[in-house]
Amino acid sequence: MERWKGRVALVTGASVGIGAAVTRALVQQGMRVVGCARNVDKIEKLAAECQSAGYTGTLVPYKCDLSNEEEILSMFSAIKTLHKGVDVCINNAGLAHNEPLLSGKTEGWRNMIDVNILALSICTREAYKSMKERNVDDGHIININSMGGHRLVPSADEHFYCATKYAVTALTEGLRQELRAEKTHIRATCISPGIVETEFAFRHHNSDPEKAAAVYESIKCLKAEDVASAVTFVLGAPPHVQVGDVQMRPVEQVL
């Protein structure tokens, strides 16, 4: 990770869960991190904690609604003005709604597409543009995916969400191929965790907190810090090493 000290990373969905853990880990490693979310109160608190801990990096909170392309473009413009550009892009933001294929609401489907697929793709495109215009040839784009992007969970509430994560799997490999065609050494990686104990299940099952709690009580789950460790492992791999897809799940997880 030594070569990343002082470099700029963008982490989407940085306010809680995996995003907050990844943000903390990168600041601890000396990176300048722009952490974005719709609400930056928790990111501002995290920035203060990182400073108090004496971490060598810095955290800059940025308010951005990733379902709005104009806000994403404005964020990248601000990063260019203040920090010259992005060297590492961590596409972490994602969400799920209980909207089955046979009875789900279009609004919920569209929101999952907007955040899980389109926002990820827009951030990827803009991060690559930022790297290319500054002749950055060692950048890294990491998509936080899900085991749901590799196998289908037998639950109607999860099917559309899994479809968006299958898209992330395809988008990451497509990105890798396009980067190779451009003869760049910018790397693309997909990290696909299984069940991680965060606030995710409580947001997903917001009308049934007992069901959400049961998800995390059934087995010993991954922690957000486990995924953050995977991110630093991937970033820390030698520049000639392309880690394409990291699949990680709790030992006790069946699917």
Residues that are catalytic: 161
Token pair listed for 126: 């803009």
Do 62 and 39 touch, CB atoms closer than 8 A? Answer: no
What one-letter code names the amino acid at 209?
P
Token pair listed for 201: 């299940």
Q: Which residues contact 66 (CB under 8 A, 6 or more apart)?
A: 12, 13, 36, 38, 72, 93, 114, 115, 119, 123
Q: Which residues contact 97 (CB under 8 A, 6 or more apart)?
A: 104, 105, 108, 109, 111, 112, 160, 161, 204
192 — phi, psi (to 5°)? -120, 90
Pairing, β 32-37 against β 140-144: unpaired
What one-letter code names the amino acid at 47?
A
